[in-house]
Amino acid sequence: MVADRKTWVLVDGENIDATLGGSILGRRPQPEERPRWDRILSFAADAWNQDVRGLFFLNASTNLPMPFVQALLALGYQPVPLSGEPHEKVVDIAIQRTLQALRDREDDVMLVSHDGDFVDDVGALADGSRRLGVLAFEEFRNSAFAAIPGLRFYDLEFDVGAFDAQLPRVRIIPIDEFDPAQFLR
């Protein structure tokens, strides 16, 4: 491992929020059901035992949520507010460009998204010289990520512990983790 190597955590907040609200909860999340973004940075630092830099990509085409931006700064993220035309997926474009720029570095990358738009760019980083991870809700992660050699998968709720409340998810339980008491309530 290179001494100055770091892990870049690239957060597609729109994607995580949409999946959480639309696919898991079916409504706008309550405060305790929102991710604790600081835990994601801590998880990445602990998992790969090196410095972490978090980039949180925001679509600011219509407004910039300053309280949220200030909270991200306080948590150690660098907010990346973006704007563009209504038809442009500015967050996706920026994350793709960032993944492409990381090809010229030796750093490791953790992507926080389910979005298949990033599969090719993450795959291009899978040259065996760096660690790569995707943090997402396992059941909603784009299945094309599975074809990328060496890519590690982390579940935001179960591996990262990014939530204070248990989410109403149905997940496949490895038999070694099965506890019948969870179902006998």
Q: What percent of the chain has pLDDT over 70?
A: 98
Distance CA(165)–CA(53), nearest Å, equals: 26
Q: For the chain, give the percent of residues with pLDDT over 90.
A: 85
Label residue 1 by pLDDT band (50, 70, 90): very low
Query: Does the pLDDT of residue 79 top 90, yes or no?
Result: yes
DSSP 20: I
What is the CATH topology of the domain spanning 7-182? Rossmann fold (3.40.50)
pLDDT digits (tens, 9 = 90+) for 109-137: 999 999 999 999 999 999 999 999 999 99
pLDDT of 150-176, one tens digit each?
999 999 999 999 999 889 887 778 899
The tens digit of pLDDT for each residue in 18-62 reads: 999 999 999 999 888 999 999 999 999 999 999 999 999 999 999
Q: What is the mean pLDDT of residues 95-119?
A: 97
Instruction: Report, as an integer, the average pLDDT of 81-96.
Output: 96
pLDDT of residue 133: 98
| Single-letter amino acid, residue 64 | L
Q: Where exactly are the structural domains of the chain?
A: 7-182
Decide the pairing of beta strands 52-59 and 77-82: parallel
d(CA 145, CA 61): 29
Tokens standing for residue 162? 């990014």
Q: How many CA atoms lie within 13 A of 117 on its CB side?
A: 14
> In angstroms, rounded to a whole number, what is the distance separating the alpha carbons of residues 24 and 70?
27
**2 pLDDT above the threshold of 80:** no
Q: Which residues of 108-134 are buried (b: 16+ CB within 10 A; e: fewer)?
A: bbbbbbbbebbbebbbebbeeebbbbb
7-12 vs 108-112, strand pairing mode? parallel
**pLDDT at position 3, please?**
60
Question: What is the per-residue pLDDT for 147?
Answer: 97
pLDDT at 105 over 70: yes
- Bridge partners (DSSP) of residue 59 are 82
Average pLDDT score over the chain: 94
pTM above 0.95, yes or no: no
Could you tell me the two tokens for 173? Answer: 């339980």
Average pLDDT for 3-12: 92
